[in-house]
A and B are shown apart, each in its own frame.
Chain A
Amino acid sequence: MRYLPLTEVDRRAMLSTIGVPSVDSLFRDVPAAARLDGPVDLPRAMGELEVERALGRMAAKSVSAGSVPFFIGAGVYRHHVPASVDHLIQRGEFLTSYTPYQPEVAQGTLQMLFEFQTQVALITGMEVANASMYDGATSCAEAVMMANRLTRRKKAVLSGGLHPHYRGVTMTHARFLGFTLSAPRPAPVGGEDLMALVDGDTSCVVVQNPDFFGNVRDYSALADACHAKGALLVIVVTEAVSLGAVKPPGAMGADIVAAEGQSIGNALNFGGPHVGLFATRERFVRQMPGRLVGQTTDADNRRGWVLTLSTREQHIRREKATSNICTNSGLCALAFSIHLALLGEAGFTRLAAINHAKAVRLAQRIDGLRGVTVLTQNYFNEVTLRLAKPAAPVVERLAADGILGGVPVSRFYPSDGSVTDLLIVAATETNTDDDVEAFAVKLEEALR
């Protein structure tokens, strides 16, 4: 059986109608060098059993995160996701549901998104949260654009402690939307004077907590300083579990929180799909991008949920929409919500405490090894190390020894010689004492 929609006769009829001799002649305008001169050389067809074997062999070349001591973080974190989360999100009502434009048929999805917003607002300490963005990096760029709209200013100051990918996504938006960014060099131990970069045209200062290098700070004074200059403070969070232990951005005076929610309920997923969290103050809600679900009552006075303030959105007000993102990461948001609901407040706080304890154990074990200095003093579950050798080959060597030993900073700043010897390592509840011991022993060997 051939899975082709057209017969040769159909094809000839269509070609003769439009007056061309062959399908290939439709591609005449593509330069010859860019065209294939024949069929792609694919292997012969295989049976299901053979395909399984072939793909299994290919998959075995990858080292899966769960199979080795794993200390990689730097923006995406490996946490335990209970089987119940995966089971529940696969219910057909959730898995296949479409955008909930029609409240009369989408109450389940709408209620879930409303609960998600409530959870995000609670853990960030903010007044209002949307029903999610694509990921933390797009949330960050949207936060800067929102600050520009609110202040009618066109310059943002990005901390050197902001994740380089978040900076990159924001820069891409800046290039095409015509705002400017002032971004200092990577700052592994802080010491930045961001306020020196703030002027009368600065819409916001963007900092990350814990920052890219793991440092946890209280940004309350920075918030006051920003507000005194008429600028907003955006706090980015890439490790959402930290919100179970660290003072929330809302309590520091943040105006907008842009965060990555992957850590809660979601797997690493090769770096995406993830779920962007976005929260702000109620007085700014009209300029907030993205979906927003509100609670209301129906004609019979029963509790119900609807999309609200949709006039901010692209499907109502195309050219004046707050954002061109007209969707949300529904399924990832659902996983986030289910996991957080299962944890509850006490469980979430405890999970955060365990993460911190694991990181303390890791940092204490490796600080003082010959050739290792732990740079980060105040941290949650991640620290930056200065090694006596360039970090990238050390990580390669550890991988060959069966340990995924962190992320070399040079991966993000290949031409910056000052970060060559920096390695970012994270520990979560998934790391055992044996993992830490194996890492310490192999790291010491690699540095010898």
Chain B
Amino acid sequence: MADIRFSKDHEWVRRDGDLAVIGITDYAQSQLGDVVYVELPEIGRKVEQGGDAAVVESVKAASEVYAPVSGEVVAVNELLSGEPGRVNADAMGEGWFFKLKLSDPNQLAALMDEAAYKKFIEGLS
């Protein structure tokens, strides 16, 4: 698996050249329950690290999805508009939310790696 980084807000980010693919973690989807709606950012929007980027709504709650890194939105996963359940089925793969053109690739290094995130969520339960 490619190098994936994790935020404390339960987003994952996978670097793909100068782009970053972003979604919510498997842990996040399991906590949310059945996802019924995803609001994606518009293409061209600039998002700051830690700022609102998307909304995910489940049968239990509606939550903001924060940008784990800064950048400009270059693509969104249109699949989720019609089939938001993909987030539950494959949060780390087909259930990705949006792609950013990174404005500061160094921000990635400061995020958690898989082992650190695993430890982080163990500490939450």
The reply to whether the CB of A316 lies closer than 8 angstroms to some CB of chain B is: yes
B35-80, CB < 8 A from A: 37, 39, 42, 55, 57, 61-62, 64
| A311–B39 alpha-carbon span in the complex (Å) | 12
Q: Which residues of B contact A316 (CB under 8 A)?
A: 61-62
Given contacts A311-B37, A311-B57, A316-B62, 10 further A-B contacts (CB under 8 A): A152-B42, A286-B37, A286-B39, A311-B61, A311-B62, A316-B61, A317-B62, A320-B55, A320-B62, A320-B64
Q: Quick one: which of B37, B39, B61, B62 has the most chain A CB within 10 A?
A: B62
Q: Give chain A nearest CB distance to B37 CB in angstroms.
A: 7
Q: Which residues of B contact A317 (CB under 8 A)?
A: 62
In the complex, residue of chain B having the shortest beta-carbon distance to the beta carbon of A316? B62
Q: Which residues of B contact A (CB under 8 A)?
A: 37, 39, 42, 55, 57, 61-62, 64
Q: Give chain A nearest CB distance to B2 CB in angstroms.
A: 33
Pick 5 A–B contacts, CB within 8 A, sort by A: A286-B37, A311-B37, A311-B57, A316-B61, A320-B62
Q: Which residues of A contact B42 (CB under 8 A)?
A: 152
Q: Which residues of A contact B (CB under 8 A)?
A: 152, 286, 311, 316-317, 320
In the complex, residue of chain A having the shortest beta-carbon distance to the beta carbon of B39? A286
Q: Which residues of B contact A286 (CB under 8 A)?
A: 37, 39
| A316–B36 alpha-carbon span in the complex (Å) | 15
| A195–B124 alpha-carbon span in the complex (Å) | 55
Q: Give chain B nearest CB distance to A446 CB in angstroms.
A: 59
| A286–B64 alpha-carbon span in the complex (Å) | 15
| A317–B57 alpha-carbon span in the complex (Å) | 11
| A317–B39 alpha-carbon span in the complex (Å) | 15
| A316–B57 alpha-carbon span in the complex (Å) | 11
| A286–B56 alpha-carbon span in the complex (Å) | 12
Q: Which residues of A contact B62 (CB under 8 A)?
A: 311, 316-317, 320
In the complex, residue of chain A having the shortest beta-carbon distance to the beta carbon of B59? A311
| A324–B9 alpha-carbon span in the complex (Å) | 27
Q: Which residues of B contact A152 (CB under 8 A)?
A: 42
In the complex, residue of chain B having the shortest beta-carbon distance to the beta carbon of A287? B39
Q: Quick one: which of A311, A316, A317 has the most chain B CB within 10 A?
A: A311
| A286–B55 alpha-carbon span in the complex (Å) | 11
Q: Which residues of A contact B64 (CB under 8 A)?
A: 320
The list of the 6 closest CB pairs from A to B, nearest first, reads A311-B62, A317-B62, A311-B57, A316-B62, A286-B39, A286-B37
| A278–B62 alpha-carbon span in the complex (Å) | 24
In the complex, residue of chain A having the shortest beta-carbon distance to the beta carbon of B62? A311
Q: Which residues of A contact B57 (CB under 8 A)?
A: 311
Q: Which residues of A contact B61 (CB under 8 A)?
A: 311, 316
| A316–B63 alpha-carbon span in the complex (Å) | 10
In the complex, residue of chain B having the shortest beta-carbon distance to the beta carbon of A152? B42
Q: Give chain A nearest CB distance to B117 CB in angstroms.
A: 26
| A44–B21 alpha-carbon span in the complex (Å) | 78
In the complex, residue of chain B having the shortest beta-carbon distance to the beta carbon of A317? B62
In the complex, residue of chain B having the shortest beta-carbon distance to the beta carbon of A313? B62
In the complex, residue of chain A having the shortest beta-carbon distance to the beta carbon of B45? A152
Q: Give chain B nearest CB distance to A148 CB in angstroms.
A: 15
| A43–B113 alpha-carbon span in the complex (Å) | 79
Q: Give chain A nearest CB distance to B36 CB in angstroms.
A: 9
| A286–B62 alpha-carbon span in the complex (Å) | 12
Q: Which residues of B contact A311 (CB under 8 A)?
A: 37, 57, 61-62
Q: Give chain A nearest CB distance to B29 CB in angstroms.
A: 17
| A398–B37 alpha-carbon span in the complex (Å) | 59
Q: Which residues of A contact B39 (CB under 8 A)?
A: 286
| A317–B62 alpha-carbon span in the complex (Å) | 7
| A320–B64 alpha-carbon span in the complex (Å) | 9
In the complex, residue of chain A having the shortest beta-carbon distance to the beta carbon of B37? A286
In the complex, residue of chain A having the shortest beta-carbon distance to the beta carbon of B42? A152
| A286–B36 alpha-carbon span in the complex (Å) | 12
| A291–B37 alpha-carbon span in the complex (Å) | 18
Q: Which residues of B contact A320 (CB under 8 A)?
A: 55, 62, 64
Q: Which residues of A contact B37 (CB under 8 A)?
A: 286, 311
| A419–B61 alpha-carbon span in the complex (Å) | 52
| A316–B61 alpha-carbon span in the complex (Å) | 8
Q: Give chain A nearest CB distance to B25 CB in angstroms.
A: 21
Q: Give chain A nearest CB distance to B57 CB in angstroms.
A: 5
| A286–B61 alpha-carbon span in the complex (Å) | 15
| A215–B55 alpha-carbon span in the complex (Å) | 43
Q: Give chain A nearest CB distance to B123 CB in angstroms.
A: 27
Q: Give chain B nearest CB distance to A152 CB in angstroms.
A: 8
Q: Give chain B nearest CB distance to A201 CB in angstroms.
A: 16
In the complex, residue of chain A having the shortest beta-carbon distance to the beta carbon of B52? A320
| A65–B62 alpha-carbon span in the complex (Å) | 49
| A311–B37 alpha-carbon span in the complex (Å) | 10
In the complex, residue of chain B having the shortest beta-carbon distance to the beta carbon of A321? B62
Q: Give chain A nearest CB distance to B24 CB in angstroms.
A: 16
| A152–B46 alpha-carbon span in the complex (Å) | 13
| A320–B62 alpha-carbon span in the complex (Å) | 10
Q: Quick one: which of B39, B42, B57 has the most chain A CB within 10 A?
A: B57
Q: Give chain B nearest CB distance to A81 CB in angstroms.
A: 40
Q: Give chain A nearest CB distance to B76 CB in angstroms.
A: 15
